[in-house]
Structure 1
Amino acid sequence: MINRKFRPAVVVLAVALTVAFAGAVTVLARTTTAQAAAAGVEDEGADCPVPALPDAGALPTNSRLPDPFKRLDGSRITTKADWRCQRTLVKKLAEKFVYGEKPAKPAGVTGTVSRTGITVNVAQNGRSSSFSASVDLPSGTGPFPAVVVVGGFGADTAAIKAAGAAVISYDPYSVGREGTPRTNKQGAFYTVYGATSPTGLLMAWAWGVSRIIDVIEQSGGSILRADATGVTGCSRFGKGAFVIGAFDQRIALTMPIESGSAGVPIFRGIPGEGAQSLSSAYGEQPWLGDAFGSFTGSPARLPVDTHEMVAMVAPRGLFIMDNPHIVNLGPKSASVAALGGAEVYKALGAGENITYWSDVQDGTHCANRPEWRTPLQQNIQKYLVRTGNAAGTMRISSRAAGNLAEWRDWTTPTLSGTLPSSSASASASPSASASASASASPSASTPPPPGGCTATASINQWQGGFVATIRVTAGAAPISGWTVGTTLPAGATIVNAWNADRSGNSGAVQFTNVAYNGTVAAGQYTEFGFQGTGTGTGLTPTCTAR
């Protein structure tokens, strides 16, 4: 894996998020899971009973991805409320076999928040440690949402500030240092929990960010808002951002970039793809927990995989950015993880809250990505500033497109009921009906269709398969539901779809809205997509509004 040392002022993704209004478009806010999906606690399922976990030596081999909806006794969850404790089961399995345990909030956490920095002091069982992070505020009076930039490598800090969020520059090495043996780990986490702790660096880094959020919560909220925190990082720090967001439900927006092995890509897919091997990732640095060492040559024995860590973020905002040009990063396996995790998002009625985007031209690791400008802006506005409502999308490059159907033998259930209010809803911020940049919506200079709705398709084609992204745009009046019809070319078959229900997999097919994306304001749009085999060239979708 490419070596990246901590550089707190590095601007990696030069994304110009200019919040200027060229004929401003007003976004009509909706109170949905998208707008306030962050929980008020680090772990909502802390009180869930968890049955005895299997021993490593008794695990069966399963080449397919584990069913994220299945309990240990073989039964499957049936309601959206069930996900709270099912997520806890996934968390415990991931801790035991992959990352090592993330301890609960220590007995003593104190610190300060100023306009330039955060200090954290931790005390537990007679041991104590301290670390700090710098703060860079945007213009305005605050209090501000904030994005934790791990290791100085992540989304462009100028872009984050331009969107109205503060930047917290977090040095993960102060909490879990690289370059140390597993028997002598160093940093603030290991000062408290011991140098021989089996917990790996990624989880230690996640623990550190959770303690930063603790201090922000205690600070009174005059400078930073504890209910609007995001996290981003690239390369090894992308691995960290992924784990940080998965294991703290207070984080509203998780944005890992090109995370590679030990990050988003499914463990089961890495050997066949030719990405950095699991043994290499395990041995390069103690990123993963010590227990993972017994699975580096047999990932099919793992009772969890990273599609379930993706699911752990649900229903909160998740924007995975990837690079299809570097096989060593495992982008094909990462797309499978995103598609698998998206099935949980969809089952929870939050399919619009996940984006995976690897459809980029520049192959340089952690380079500028103009393709990410709009979705990055939309995600920050939606989950942190809370002035947007754009739906997530899957933009999978033809260079590295995984097929979820090849990796699962389970189906996605229809879960009844609703998510608990702490997970699924909250009031939109006072500015939720404010104007957003025209780049986040259809061009303000283009008049909307006169009525009803229209549908347009963009196709990402590769040899033997494709991904279609369908945009549904409302006319001069709002719509409360839509149906899109299209005819697939001869030989084309749909293998997976997101943000819509479908009838049929070949020939003439229809797609209808799901619960969260049927209502579209006048002139606004939502998107859904599907992956297919064969060719998707020439699709001409039609739209009927309800």
Structure 2
Amino acid sequence: MTPAALPSRALLTVDDGLCLWSDKESAMASSIDPPITPRRQLRFTLVLAAVFAVAAAFVLTPHLTRAEAQVTAASEWDGAACNVAVPGSWASSSLLPDPFLKIDGTRVTAQSQWECRRSEIKELAERTIYGDKPQPDSVTGTVTSSRITVNVSDNGRSTSFSASVQLPSGTGPFPAVIVYGGFGADTATILATGTAVVNYDPAAVGAEGTPRSNKQGAFYNLYGATSTTGVLMAQAWGVSRIIDVIEQSGGSVLEPTTGVTGCSRYGKGAFVAGAFDQRIALTMPIESGSGGVSALRSIPQESGSQPLSSTYNEQPWLGDAFSAYTGNPAGLPVDTHEVVGMIAPRGLFIMDNPHVEWLGARSGALAALGGAEVYKALGAGSNISYHSNVSDGTHCATRSEWRTPLQQSINKFLHGTGNPPALINMHSSKSANLAQWRNWTTPTLTPAGPTETTTPAETTTPAETTSPPPGGAGCTATVQMVSQWNSGWQGNVLVTAGATAISGWTLSWTWPGSQRITSSWNASVTSSGAAVTAEDIGWNGAIAAGRTATAWGFVASGASAAPVVTCTPA
């Protein structure tokens, strides 16, 4: 971030490319600096809460605007119904674990099975890396044009914290990016896209500079100073509570479509927040290093990167259980490429700095490549981007190379317009080779199949229809439902070529009711009311004669429907 982007902060020093910043209350060093002293305390008052206790309607009414946001989930964690049994032990391997290998030893074969595989990864990552992320009994609060207040109660205890809001020009409501501690993607660029900035003080929820035996902050007020949950997960819990309040607010100021970003230690936090809350549409960690995106097994092999023992001991970022793996990452049942996969198919833009060895950019690239395989298997390969090919080595600098992909990511995943950057751009000095780190292959997952567990609101019965078969040439299209939940459903679109191969396709239909596409991938989609038009994006346009391809996918609001689809070949 530049000083201009942070008006309340002052640049103190630039030493070997490491920026130190301060505000009125504390000097906050980046994650590659020495530990900060424990000067930050949880601060909130009943007077502040009263000042901003503006009445808000706590009705979960979707506020759908523009072309809608990208892939998000119906709840913080849609796999809550999955029956995950964590084993008492697991095999050790120096290679990256197979993200598609389930705990029972079988592999994921259908996209519909990923939800429960994701839940397995979540449980294993909480157990060994981050610590648990509990669900509180009650969350209330208010949203105004300048502040969000959050009040949380659980098991007879209560706590509060707040975040400031900066609105862009124009008429809201606006989607928002939650920015960790003032360090993250360029706020000027965020605001210029018509997106609000929520400035989140993570130290108020999980403080640094504290011993593991006496953790401080709003999270630990509820769950105890000796909680084994690390600060990164505690701070991610705080992000989820902010989203709870935004959802409850009725959408008069902010839409419930959110992104999250942070740099350095706050890049670690943003990464964890995005992985453990499926409502976050866009995750943007920057220069997160060891304990962030960087593959844990790779860090000891990357000269100069922050050792795992240093990451564990510098701050209580990681859960207490990780102490068993600081010298033995091969013993972990998961690695960060699978945490990247937990974000799939939602938007993810990882930014890295190859010029500071401590940041372990090669390990970050490796995790991104491994996680990208999950995105590809889910048919959402364009929804992940990684960029470390930058010229300026200053830590947490605003970089011109990132401005366009940042804009593209925000527009696509928070506003539903344009196309994602869809790039993997590694610096030549910090490139990674996934083939050297895996002995597994990426499966071709069937677009529909039996789910491993369902709630009463879910169904796996296909809802599909086709346009009349073409006479000799042309194409037909099928809308196939993958899964359904209370407020929406996921569909895949299958395109079949007639007697002649096609080089591209355009599909159109009109919804029979109030259904609307809220996100899509692998197609250029435009909607006007109930009318939908979709075109191929080049690589998925060609279909051989008589063959059927799963062309693209979408998430829709409302009840599942079977529209009559018209397919026009290019």
> 1:59 offset after TM fit, Å?
3.5
Indicate the SS of the match to 2:164: strand
1:248 matched residue in structure 2: 277
Deviation, 1:373, is 1.1
Specify the code of the residue in structure 2 equivalent to 1:412.
T
Contact 2:447 2:550 in 1 (8 A): no
Alpha-carbon distance change, 480 to 179 in structure 1, aligned in 2, over 3 angstroms: closer
| Partner Cα separation in structure 2 for residue 211 and residue 182 of structure 1 | 23
The whole-number CA distance in structure 2 between the counterparts of 1:313 and 1:299 is 22
Residue in 2 aligned with 1:192? 222
Residue aligning to 1:307? 337
Give me the whole-angstrom Cα distance separating, in 2, the residues matched to 1:365 and 1:481: 36
Match of 2:517 in 1: 427
SS of residue matched to 2:366: helix
From the superposition, tell whether residues 98 and 162 of structure 1 become closer, same or farther in structure 2 (CA, over 3 Å). same
Unaligned runs of 5+ in 1: 13-29, 435-477, 484-498, 502-512, 518-544
**How many Å separate the matches in 1 of 2:489 and 2:130?**
24
Q: Pairwise mapping of residues 306-385 of structure 1 onto structure 2 (< 5 A)?
A: 306-385=336-415
Q: What is the CA-CA distance between 1:515 and the residue it aligns to?
A: 3.5
Partner-residue secondary structure (3-state), 2:517? coil
Could you tell me how far apart the structure 1 residues matched to 2:490 and 2:318 are? 31
Q: Secondary structure at the match of 2:214?
A: coil
Would the aligned equivalents of 1:146 and 1:166 in 2 still touch at CA under 8 Å?
yes
- Select 1:54's aligned residue among 63, 77, 87: 87
Unaligned runs of 5+ in 2: 1-16, 30-65, 449-481, 492-515, 520-524, 528-533, 543-548, 554-568
**Structure with max Cα Rg:** 2
Q: Distance in 2 between matches of 1:101 and 1:8?
A: 33
Q: Offset at 1:356?
A: 0.3
Aligned residues: 424
- Matched ranges for 1:256-275 at <5 A: 256-274=285-303, 275=305
Q: 1:68: which partner in 2?
A: 99
Summarize the Cα distance change of 1:2–1:263 in structure 2 as closer, same or farther, 3 Å threshold: farther
1:515 aligns with: 551
Residue 42 of structure 1 is aligned with which of 67, 76, 90? 76
Deviation at 1:479, TM superposition (A): 7.3
| Structure 2 residue matching 1:312: 3-state secondary structure | helix
- Give the aligned partner of residue 453 of structure 2: none
Tell me the secondary structure at the aligned position of residue 129 of structure 1.
strand
**CA pair 161-70 structure 1, distance change in 2 beyond 3 A:** same
Q: 1:2 to 1:305 in 2, by over 3 A?
A: farther
Q: Give, as a single letter, the amino acid of the residue that structure 2 aligns with 1:66.
A: P
Question: What's the CA shift for 1:427?
Answer: 1.9
| Cα gap change, 1:35 to 1:89, in 2 (>3 Å) | same
Q: Which amino acid aligns with 2:184?
A: G
Identity score, percent? 60
Instruction: Compute the displacement of 1:141 (Å).
Output: 1.8
Instruction: Please list, as runs of the form range in 1=range in 2, the aligned pairs for 1:66-145 lying within 5 A after superposition.
Output: 66-104=97-135, 106-145=136-175
Q: Following TM superposition, by how much is the alpha carbon of 1:45 offset from its aligned partner in structure 2, in angstroms? A: 0.2
Question: For the structure 1 residues 400 and 132, does the alpha-carbon distance in structure 2 shift closer, same or farther, using more than 3 Å as the test?
Answer: same
What's the counterpart of residue 175 of structure 1? 205
Measured in 1, the distance between the counterparts of 2:397 and 2:274 equals 22
Measure, in 2, the Cα distance between the counterparts of 1:204 and 1:2: 26
- For residue 2 of structure 1, report the CA deviation from its aligned partner: 6.0
Deviations along 1:331-368, one digit per CA (max 9) or x if unpaired, are 00111100100000000000010000011111111112
SS of 2:79 mapped into structure 1:
coil
CA contact (8 A) 1:4 1:236 kept: no
Per the alignment, in what secondary structure is the counterpart of residue 118 of structure 1?
A: strand
Give the conservation status (yes or no) of the 8 Å contact 1:6–1:171.
no
Structure 1 counterpart of 2:475: none
Residue type of the alignment partner of 1:94: A
Residues 167 and 107 of structure 1: CA distance in aligned 2, closer, same or farther (over 3 Å)? same
Residue 234 of structure 1 aligns with which residue? Answer: 263
Alignment counterpart, residue 404 of structure 1, candidates 415, 424, 434 = 434
1:415 matched residue in structure 2: 445
Report the alpha carbon displacement of residue 139 of structure 1 after superposing the two structures with TM.
1.1
Quote the offset at 1:8 in angstroms: 10
Distance 1:385 1:8 in 2: 35
Q: 2:237 aligns with which of 207, 229, 235?
A: 207
Cα distance in 2 for partners of 1:297, 1:127 equals 37
Aligned-partner SS, 1:515 = strand
In structure 2, the CA distance between the partners of 1:214 and 1:482, relative to structure 1 (3 Å rule), is closer
The amino acid of 2:74's aligned partner reads G
Tell me the distance in 2 between the aligned counterparts of 1:500 and 1:190: 52
Structure 2 contact 69–415 (Cα < 8 Å) conserved: no
Change (3 A) 1:169 1:145: same
Residues 38 and 251, structure 1, Cα contact 8 Å, conserved in 2: yes
- Which 4+ stretches in 1 moved above 6 angstroms? none
Alpha-carbon spacing, 1:287–1:6, altered in 2? closer, same or farther (3 Å) = farther
Aligned equivalents of 1:2, 1:178: Cα separation in 2: 19
Q: 1:240 to 1:65 in 2, by over 3 A?
A: same
Secondary structure class of the residue paired with 1:115: coil
- Residues 2/354 of structure 1: CA separation in 2 closer, same or farther (3 Å cut): same
Using the alignment, how far apart are the partners of 1:154 and 1:139 within structure 2? 21
Q: 1:2 to 1:98 in 2, by over 3 A?
A: farther
Task: Output the CA distance in 2 between the equivalents of 1:423 and 1:307.
Answer: 27
Looking at structure 1, the residues matched to 83 and 526 of structure 2 have their Cα atoms a distance apart, in angstroms, of 41
| Gap change, CA 1:481 and 1:428, over 3 Å in 2 | closer
CA distance in structure 2 between the partners assigned to 1:171 and 1:198 by the alignment: 21
Q: How far apart in 2 are the matches of 1:273 and 1:283? A: 19
Cα pair 2:69 2:281 within 8 Å, conserved? no
Whole-Å separation in 1 of the counterparts to 2:281 and 2:24: 23
Residues 297/500 of structure 1: CA separation in 2 closer, same or farther (3 Å cut): farther
Aligned counterparts of 1:100 and 1:308: Cα–Cα separation in 2: 16
Separation (CA, whole Å) in 2 of partners of 1:138 and 1:428: 23
Structure 2 CA distance for aligned equivalents of residues 428 and 514 of structure 1 = 19
Q: 1:208 to 1:6 in 2, by over 3 A?
A: farther
Contact between 1:135 and 1:166, CA under 8 Å: does it hold in 2? Answer: yes
Which secondary structure does the structure 2 equivalent of 1:85 belong to? helix
**Once the 2 structures are TM-superposed, how far is the Cα of residue 388 of structure 1 from its aligned partner?**
1.5
Q: Supply the distance in 2 between the matched residues of 1:402 and 1:388 (Cα, whole angstroms).
A: 29
Cα deviation for residue 392 of structure 1 reads 1.1
1:60 shift after superposition: 2.8
Q: 1:353 to 1:433 in 2, by over 3 A?
A: same
RMSD of aligned C-alpha atoms?
Answer: 2.8
